[in-house]
Structures are given as structure tokens and as C-alpha cells.
Chain A
Amino acid sequence: MEHTIAAISTPIGQGGMGVIRISGENALDIADSIFESVSGKKITEMKGYTASFGKITDNGEHIDEAVVLVFRAPHSYTGEDVVEISCHGGIYITKRILRVVLSKGAEPAQPGEFTKRAFINGKMGLTEAESVMDIISAVGNQSARAALSVMEGNLRKRIDSVREILIGLAAHLSAWADYPEEEIPEVDEESLKESLQTVKTELVSLINSYDAGKVIREGVDTVIAGRPNVGKSTLMNLLSGFERSIVTNIPGTTRDIIEETVMLGDIPLRLSDTAGIRSTDDPVESIGVQRAKDRLLSAGLIFAVFDASVPLSGEDMELLDLLKDSPAVAVINKTDLEVKIDSEVIKSKVKHTVFISAKTGSGAKELEHEVGEIVGTSNLDPAQGILATERQFNDAQSALKSVEEALTAISLGITLDAITVLIEDAINSLLELTGERVTEAVVDKVFSHFCVGK
């Protein structure tokens, strides 16, 4: 049996309530040792799915009033004995209760460990487990919504509908091959191609949604570029201010690239502020400049910042030339001052251009909109069901590959036995995505759809 684990399972510092979850063989005993119920009933005597009200104590001292919920194995989230202690929240109280629980023999849970146990104990399938893992690590509302839609089966529905088409085709082809004397209608090549094309389109759309979905989950590498004093740092501070609570500071790896993660609307941006880009003879500085240029080329998103209060300089033009074909937004800053810049020149070079005042915060919404356009999230409705993990993405891609090969094989005039195998490979990949088997599905379909027999 695994050791007993415990953790605070509500976000620290939010809401009026805190929940400490304990899971494992000793969960009931541990909870019992720190809880005095009003009714006098011990936690170890409670049935599953029951609650008890009482006080949490630490060596005789009352810490807080709490409601204790008991889940008995295997009928719990993890499949083990689980106790959930709901207390009055607040960082101090919640952490103190957890400390008491740990002092009684529980071990601190690793990130995702409750879910891992739920998975190992057969409480959830692979796709659901992965989605929950995503929820745990998700930042931002849209990300949580996307993760939820997998669990609730929107992705499942999309996959199933594609798979149904393929299974229908495979069943028809199998019946046609296995019952040559049973008047199974000929497999019509045109309609076969048409169905495969439909499947291909849907798979491509799923696969494309993955990248946008990934942006929402994992964020996008964003570089703020521009010559000195155009307001890069102010912009960075402005962005950081949007959602201070989840900003994480990662120490910069070099003296001139500072990294931090901020939220712009629903999209997490992993920001780095680069040194100004300009020609220089100073060897030390030129290393910094070269690094900044490399960083520009590899970035998922670039904010190129320009100062609206002065005309475009040679350095600005140099930067604009570097931006060709990049996922860039030209951010024309300091609109609170008198505008002297020729914004038409910028617009002619960069498709996405916004005017902001980092100082006053005006133009931030427009910036958010342009970013959504660039990273593909503006057209993404996560509730439709999108691929959430690398594994799902790979399975969908290998399904697509098989479908494409099948289409090629048909156009080459390859016999249908080989086509059938390719279709079955595609079904297999999709079944792997959701976790089922193929041949039975096809065989069952043969019997329910075709009148065959001797």
C-alpha cells in the first residue's frame, strides 16, 4: 500500500474556505487524531459519503471549526480512503492544519499525485487523467475550460464521430471482402474518397486546434523588443499588473533578458525584455545584441515597441526589417504625448499595429485582440473539444497520416485490401487516443449492418 498523502486542495489565499485533502491507508486515523466531533463519533467509525462537524485541535489547542467529509475506498476520487477537511480558509489557518496533519504521519502530496493515484486505481481513463493533470497545471480560465471539455467528452464526441465514419467504412469493406456471395454493395471509390476526405478535414482541424490550445495551456514565448527608452519596461510592468496573483518571477539567465509570466486576457505570456537592438562596436554589448536578435527569431510572439513622441530612427527601421514574417505586434507607445512618429511606415511593414500608452494603460484591449489573432486563439472555442496533450496530438497525427496514405493509395489504384488496413490503422490510432480496441468494433458493425451468412 502506498503511503498516506495530504495537501491543501484549494488555491492558497482565495475564497472563504480552505480544503485539506488526505488520501491513503491511514487517512481516517490521521484525521481522527486531530478532530473532535460535536456528536462524539470518531472519524474511523464514519461511513463513506458522510460528514461530521467539529473542531480541529493541535495538542489540545483548538485551531478552527471544520466540516470533515469521509470517503471510503474504493468510492473516492483516488480510490483510497479519503478525508477532506473544510476549514475557514486563510493562508495561516489552512497551512497550520496541514502542518498538524503532516505531523501525524501523512506525507506532503506531490503535484498531481491525487490524480495519479486515481488513475492507477482505475478511477479514470488516460484521457480524463491527462485532462485533470492539465487542470491542475492550468493557468487562466480558457485553459481550464478547454481541459474540462475533454473530461466532459467534447473531444471524445469529435473523435467518436470521426471514428464512426472510419468504422463504417472498414465494416463495409470487410463485409464486402468476407462475404463475396452475399450481395454486399460494391464499395464505391468516389464515396470512399469523400468519406476519407471528411475525416481528413476534421482531423486537420483537431490538429490545428492543438497549437492554439497549447498556447492557452502553456503560454507563448514573448519578446519585447525596441531601442532603449521606448517604454519596454513600462509595457512589461503594465502587462504584469493585469493579474499580479499568478505572476512568477524567474531570475533572468543573463543580465539583459528578464523573464516573467503574465496573463494577457486568457493567454499566458512568457515575457522577456531584450536589450536594445542596434549596431555597436563594443564586443560585450554586441554579444548582447546578437543574443537579442536570435531571441527575436525564435520567439512565438514579438512586441516591437516604438516611441510615438519622436520620429522613426534608423534603429527603429532596423528593427522593422527584422520583423518581416514574424509573429509581431508593433506597439506604438507614449500616445499620451504629442505624436510625431510616421505610423504608416510601421503599418506597411507590420500587419498588427496598436497604439497604447503604457503609462495610462490605454490600448491594452486592442493589444490583447491583436495577440489573439496572431497566436490563433481568437477563433478557438475551447468548449468544442480540442486536443489537450502531446500524446493525443500524436495519436491524431498518426490517424491523419493513415487517412492520407489511404487517399493516396486509392488514387494510385492500390487494391482495397490494403486500403482497408490503412483505415484500420487510423481507427486504431483514434482508439488509442480514447483507449479502446478495434477489431471487435468492426466485427460487431459487420453483423449489425449487413445481412450476411450462408
Chain B
Amino acid sequence: MKFIAGEFDVAVIGAGHAGIEAALASARLGCKTVVFTINMDAVGNCPCNPSIGGTAKGHLVREIDALGGEMGKAADACFLQSRMLNRGKGPAVHSLRAQIDRRAYSTRMKHTLELQENLELRQAEITELEKSDDGKWLLTTRLEAQYKAKAVILATGTYLGGKIYVGDVSYKSGPDGMFPAEFLPDSLEKLGMEIRRFKTGTPARVLRSSIDFSDLEEQCGDDPVVPFSYDTTNPGENKVKCYISRTNEKTKKIILDNISRSPMYSGKIEGTGPRYCPSIEDKIVRFSDKESHQLFIEPCGLDTEEMYIQGMSSSLPEDVQIDFYHTIKGLENCVIMRPAYAIEYFCADPIQMNRTLEFRDFPGLYGAGQFNGSSGYEEAAAQGIVAGINAALKVQGREPMILDRASSYIGTLIDDLVTKGCHDPYRMMTSRSEYRLILRQDNADTRLTPIGRKIGLISDERWERFQKKQELIKEELKRVKKTVLPPSEELNAILRSHNTSEVTTGIRLIDLLKRPELNYEILSSVDPDSRELEPNVREQVEIEIKYEGYIKRQLMIIEQIRKLEDKILPENIDYTSIDGLRLEAREKLSKIRPESIGQASRISGVSPADISVLVIYLSTLKNKV
């Protein structure tokens, strides 16, 4: 029998990486919040790789943290090994990645939710979502409990209509053997929402003691460890090693001999898989001239013997998996504890949403994470915090928070999703940001903490620390501009040894730091006022100095683009009636309903000619008024 079990400001469906950030943001902003999970032991689960961060994803984690989110802190608390990727390739592409203890991570996240004021965590499968007569959303659980909420955030991950594929075997399931959300898809379609199938996959987990590590290349963490969170002061040390091996001719042969048994190739899976994260059979078929593919063996935690085999996701039958895993050096006798599988699930086309992640046609309904067509824990968490913040702001009658492309990777991710949509699971990459020299992981706080503070997610204590750091950066910039080093034999010896030209007159410290060959470290002995600067203050100052010209260039472009972003397109434009728009442009614009000329210009299928027509149209609108 149905009964009303509670009323909330904000209800979050799903307690994965998106749901967690959404629920925490909403509760921390003072909204009475409930978060539902199908299984209480799957909160903050990492059903794929046991790691947080990576290229561009590390940027996202830093940005989430700068706004006042949780992911960075939890990753710092549970990391096993940490590395800054791309050192030497330039500050824009430095990216932090940490191997984490996935159980510890999940436990910590669950506990954080449990302790959070204004937040209730409930185990329940939501089977129905409908609009109730009083304008609120009505959620019904499998056990017929009913909840009312002013705003709902869908963060359903791969649970939504989940179906697992291993060879010819397939069955309804969520990730890691959890129940799927079987009924909610019908309810969403009944609402009039467009949903579609995507697929993703994960490799096998292998028993550590069955692996022969003796000939495998080791991969160790950084020393010292750089933390994700601006709150973490003592990050601790690396605790584990990872290992590298490779596929070979035999692996390739077994996979190709059995390719017809893959549900992807036999056509059983209809969902679109991620291009960037192909299964091993995809890699072998698509890049047939490549003899060998690299793979990484990563521990899943400190109190487990399961090892994750990165790069070897597959939907081939279990017997084939055993055969080809055994062809790999180190894995000759490996015992597969959890076979690799592919999982197909429902998700929404994000072009139905605006940049707050609210559905245009369903006010008060938000989407985040895999539900929006993205892939990855970090992408999910990034959308989660934005959806959570905006749901809370809406309930409280406050202005929405919109992050534009020039502000952050989060803004870029969301703009890409709602403007271009996605045809396969969307992964963040540094190359997706045209402003990447400005959107660096080292300055995420400078860019976003003021926004987090304004919204109300940054504590007084942290705000003070932030302001002090900004002050130090400013002072240090002033100092290096004023400080002149006299020409000395000591200085010239340093310059000589770093292959840069010597000086005969005094030179400003800033001009030395501009030279690509030099840095603070090298100059410390001749820098008279060299003070004990925090490493990240020094880092930011040095980057600002070295890349000044390029940064200025990007700032100029941002200024130009923002002019287009400022040209607002009225919500009620009837694109079908604008003469001169090509048919394709009319359809795309009607569907995506961009908020500005800038956003319209990024829609594929809308040509510069169409944009000119829109600009002309806008000016005629103004003339009429």
C-alpha cells in the first residue's frame, strides 16, 4: 500500500559520484535533502578503475574541491598511490591521478553522507517519478513508500535499465551485481522524456597471488605527494605499486578467433560505447596493425587481493577471457575473480537541459553523471555538484549558478553536453578546453573558490586561507618585478650551467624567471629575499610569469567570445519562422534552444551564415521594441 514517507526540498536518485556531490551541496546549502540508493553498500562505489583523477579529470576534481565539493578530500584520505601526470609537458596539462582504496573510499563517502546535517540517506529503488497536483515531484519506491520533493536530481548511473553482457549471456543487472533500476525508465518515458541506450565496460579483477610480478615493470608514485584538495595539508605517503604488462600476438589471435562471440560484434548490444575507452577487442579490431597494447595492473585496496587490469575491458565470453588473459606476461596463471563485462543502460540526451542541468521541459528536474551521457567518476561528480547547487538555489529562490567555458573545465563539460549533446559516453580531455592555459589545475581555487564562497559552500576559515594565498601571490609578483639581481660571477655561473645567456648589467628577477630554462629552485641561491613560499604560491607565480604572453592572448579571446555570450536569445523564439535559417539550423536551434548567440555558434549544424541571420534577427527584434 502506498504511503507518504516524507517531504523534502531536494531528492537525489542515486548515491554514486554524481549523487553524492549533488546531495551534499544541496544539504550544505540548507535544503532538506534525501538521497536514494538501491543498495546501501554501493554508496560511492567505483565499479570500474580504482582511481580518481587523470588527464583533465584531475582538473575536474580540483575544481569540485574549489567550489566546496567532497571528491578531492575523499580521494586524499583514501589514496594508495599518487602521481602528477604530464610533468614536463607544460602546466596546462599537468594532471593529478590517485590510485585509491575503493572500499575505504566508499565507506568514507557513505559516512560523510550519514553525518551531514539536513541529509538523509535511504536504501530504496525509485520506480516512479511523477508531478503531483501541488506542483511538487512525487517519487515512489519499490516498497510503495512515497516522497515529495520540490526538486529532483537524476543520478542513476548504469543502474537505469542496466543490462550486463558477457559473450552470449546477458541479464538485467546494475554494476557489480547490484539490482538494476528496472521500472524508472518507463516512468521517465511516460513523463515525455527522451531516453536512449549507452554502454560501457570494465575489465576483469584478478587474484594478486596468482600474478607473477617478477618480470613486470613497476610504477611508483610521486614523492612528495601533491594532494587534490586545497584543504589537505598533510597528504601522507604512497602505499602501493602498480605494474605494467602488454598484450601480444597470441592475445590478438585468440580475440580475433572469437570476435563473433562478442555481443558488440554480433549486434546484441545496441547501446553506443565510449570511443575513448574501447574494449580490448575494439582496440585490436580498430588498430589491427598494432602488435601489442599496454596494460596496467592496479591494486583495488589495502585489505583485498583483487587487482584491476586497466586496458583490458571486454565483453567476450568468460572462457575466452580466461584464455586471452593467460597469454599475457605475468598473467599466465592468473585467477580471474570477477570477469570483465559490458553494461548497457538508459541515459538522457543532455540537450534537453540548460546549463544549470535542469530539464527545460520539466522544471525542478535535474540530471547528472552517466544519466546525462557522460562517463567517468569525475565528470559525474562535477555535474553532481552543479545540479545540487542549482536545485538548492532554485528551491531557495536564488539566482542560478552558471559556469561558462572560460571559467572552468566543469563549465566546458556542461556546455559541451547541453549544446552539442553526445553520441557516445563523454569523457573530459584537456583538448576539449580552448582556454586550457588559463584553466589549469594549479589555479582552480583562484577561478572558482570566490564562486563557491558566494554560493555558501566555503567556510570562513577556508575563505580566509584562500584570501591569504591570493595576497601572497600578488605580493610575490610585485617582489619579483622590483627585485634586480646585479651581474655576479655566481649568477652567471648558474646561467651558464643552464644554457642561458649571461648578464652584464643588473636584471630583474621576473625577467630571469621568464626564461624557460630557469625557475625559483635554480635561482634560490642568488635571490636575496627568497622567502619560504608555499609551493603552490610559487608554482602559480612562476606559471603566470612564464606564460604571460600566451595567457594574455587567451584572455583576449575570452573577452571576444564573451561578447557573443552576452547576446541573449529570448526563450520564446520561434526558429521555424525565421526566414533565412537553413532547415537543419532551424531544427537544431528549436531542439537545443541555446541561451545566447555564443552558445548557438557552437551547435554543429548551425553555420556562420545562420549565426549572421540570428544576429540580424536579434537586431530587428530590438528595432521593433
Q: Which of A119, A182, A424, A452 has the most CB of B within 10 A?
A: A452
| A282 adjacent to chain B (CB < 8 Å) | no
Asked if B609 and A443 make an inter-chain contact with CB atoms under 8 angstroms apart, the answer reads no
Given A178-B55, A453-B278, A453-B311, A418–B609 Cβ distance below 8 Å?
no
Contacts of B287 in A (CB 8 A): 451
Q: Which of A122, A174, A414, A438 has the most CB of B within 10 A?
A: A122
Q: How far does the alpha carbon of A183 sit from the alpha carbon of B296 in the complex, in Å?
A: 12
Whether A454 sits at the interface, judged by CB under 8 Å, is yes
In the complex, what residues of A have CB within 8 A of residue B546's CB? 414
Cβ B607 vs Cβ A417 within 8 A: no
- Chain A residues 145 to 202 lying within 8 A of chain B, measured CB to CB, are 170, 174, 176-183
Residue A437 interfacial (CB < 8 Å):
yes
Chain B positions 70 through 94: 1 when the CB is less than 8 Å from some CB of chain A, otherwise 0: 0000000000000001101111110
Across the interface, name the chain A residue whose C-beta is closest to B580.
A120
Please indicate the chain A residues that have their CB under 8 angstroms from the CB of B581 in the complex.
122
Q: For window 379-417 of chain A, which residues contact chain B by CB distance below 8 Å?
A: 409, 412-417
CB-defined contacts of A437 to chain B, threshold 8 Å: 602, 604
Q: Chain B residues with Cβ under 8 A from A170's Cβ? A: 431
A residues within 8 A CB of B294? 181-183
Q: Interface centre among B85, B579, B616, by most A CB within 10 Å?
A: B579
Question: Which residues of chain A from 225 to 264 have any CB-CB distance to chain B below 8 Å in the complex?
Answer: none
**Does B286 belong to the interface (CB within 8 Å)?**
yes
Is B516 touching A1 in the complex (CB atoms < 8 A)? no
Question: Is residue A378 contacting chain B, with contact meaning CB distance below 8 A?
Answer: no
Interface string of B105-138 (1 = CB under 8 A from A): 0000000000000000000000000000000000
A417–B290 contact, CB under 8 A?
no
Asked if A435 is at the interface (CB within 8 A of a chain B CB), the reply is yes
A454 touches B49 (CB 8 A): yes
Q: Is the CB of B616 within 8 A of A418?
A: no
- Interface presence of B172 (CB below 8 A): no
Interface presence of A102 (CB below 8 A): no
CB distance from A447 to the nearest CB of B (A): 5
Q: State whether A174 and B431 are in contact (beta carbons under 8 Å apart), knowing that A413-B516, A417-B437 are contacts in the complex.
A: yes
> Which of under 10, 10 to 19, 20 to 34, or 35 or more describes the interface residues of B?
35 or more
CB distance from A180 to the nearest CB of B (A): 5
Tell me, in angstroms, the Cα distance from A440 to B274 when the chains sit together: 16
Among residues of B, the one whose C-beta sits closest to the C-beta of A447 is B275
Is the Cβ of A178 less than 8 Å from the Cβ of B430?
A: yes
Beta-carbon contact of A416 and B609 below 8 Å? no
State whether the Cβ of B472 lies closer than 8 Å to any Cβ in chain A: no
Determine whether the beta carbon of B580 is less than 8 Å from that of A122: yes
- Is B176's CB within 8 Å of the partner chain A? no
Least CB separation from A421: chain B residue: B437
Partner of A122, one of B274, B277, B553, B585: B585
Tell me, yes or no, whether A9 is within 8 Å of chain B by CB: no
Q: Is A125's CB within 8 Å of the partner chain B?
A: yes
Q: Are B293 and A443 touching (Cβ within 8 A)?
A: no
Q: Are A415 and B89 in contact (CB under 8 A)?
A: yes
Query: Is the Cβ of A451 less than 8 Å from the Cβ of B290?
Result: yes
Contact A122 B550, beta carbon cutoff 8 Å: no
Q: Does A439 reach chain B (CB closer than 8 Å)?
A: yes
Q: Is B194 an interface residue (CB 8 A)?
A: no
A177 B434 Cβ-Cβ under 8 A: no
Interface residues of A, count at CB 8 A: 48
The answer to whether A126 has its CB under 8 Å from any CB of chain B is: yes
At the interface, yes or no: A106 with Cβ under 8 Å from chain B? no
- Report A212 CB to chain B, min CB distance, Å: 27
Q: Which of A178, A439, A443 has the most CB of B within 10 A?
A: A178
Q: Is the CB of A125 within 8 A of B604?
A: no
Interface residues in B232-252 by Cβ distance below 8 A to A read: none
Residue among A176, A414, A453 with the highest chain B CB neighbour number at 10 A: A453
Closest chain-A Cβ to B415's Cβ sits at a distance in Å of 11
Take A122-B613, A437-B602, A454-B277 as given contacts and tell me if A416 and B579 are in contact as well, using a CB distance cutoff of 8 Å. no
Does B582 lie within 8 Å of A125, measured CB to CB? no
B568-610, CB under 8 A of A: which get 1 and which 0? Answer: 0000000000011110010000000000000000101001111
- Min distance, Cβ B255 to any Cβ of chain A, angstroms: 14
Shortest CB-to-CB span from B63 to chain A, Å, is 17
List A contacts of B554 (CB < 8 A): 421
Q: Decide: A418 and B604 in contact? CB cutoff 8 A.
A: no
User: Is residue A446 within 8 Å, beta carbon to beta carbon, of the partner chain?
Assistant: yes
User: For the complex, is B148 an interface residue (Cβ under 8 Å from A)?
Assistant: no
Residue of A nearest to B310 (CB): A454
A418 touches B550 (CB 8 A): yes
Residue of B49, B432, B436 near A443 (CB, 8 A) is B432
Interface pair B55/A424, CB less than 8 Å apart: no
Q: A125-B609, A176-B89 are in contact. Are A439 and B547 (CB under 8 A)?
A: no
Residue of A nearest to B584 (CB): A122
Which chain B residues border A414 with CB–CB below 8 Å?
Answer: 516, 546-547, 550
Given A181-B296, A421-B550; A435-B607 close (CB under 8 Å)? yes
* Residue from B274, B420, B429, B602 in contact with A178 in the complex, judged by beta carbons closer than 8 Å: B429
Given A178-B55, A416-B90, A417-B92; A454-B311 close (CB under 8 Å): yes
Q: How far apart are the CA atoms of A182 and B55 in the complex, in Å? A: 12
* A contact residues around B56 at 8 Å (CB): 178
Complex CA gap A451/B90 in Å reads: 23
B265 at the interface (CB under 8 A from A): no
Quick one: which of A2, A174, A453 contacts B277, CB cutoff 8 A?
A453
CB-CB under 8 A for A119 and B609, given A177-B89, A418-B437, A421-B437 = yes
For A417, give its contact among B89, B286, B604 (CB under 8 Å): B89
A180 and B436 form a contact (CB under 8 A): no
Chain A hits for B296, CB < 8 A? 181
Smallest CB gap from B274: residue in A: A453
Contacts of B430 in A (CB 8 A): 174, 177-178, 417
Knowing A178-B431, A421-B436, A421-B554, the reply to whether A126 touches B608 (Cβ < 8 A) is: yes
Flag whether B517 is at the interface (Cβ < 8 A).
Answer: yes
Q: Are A451 and B86 in contact (CB under 8 A)?
A: no
Q: Is the beta-carbon distance between A440 and B604 smaller than 8 angstroms?
A: yes
Q: A119-B609, A122-B582, A435-B607 are in contact. Are A452 and B93 (CB under 8 A)?
A: no
B562 an interface residue at 8 Å Cβ cutoff?
no
- Which residue of chain B is the closest to A434 with respect to CB atoms? B608
A-B CB contact pairs (8 Å), 18 listed: A119-B612, A120-B580, A120-B609, A122-B581, A170-B431, A178-B56, A178-B429, A179-B55, A180-B86, A413-B517, A414-B550, A415-B88, A417-B436, A418-B437, A421-B553, A439-B431, A447-B275, A447-B276
3 smallest CB-CB distances across A and B, nearest first, come from: A417-B90, A415-B90, A174-B431
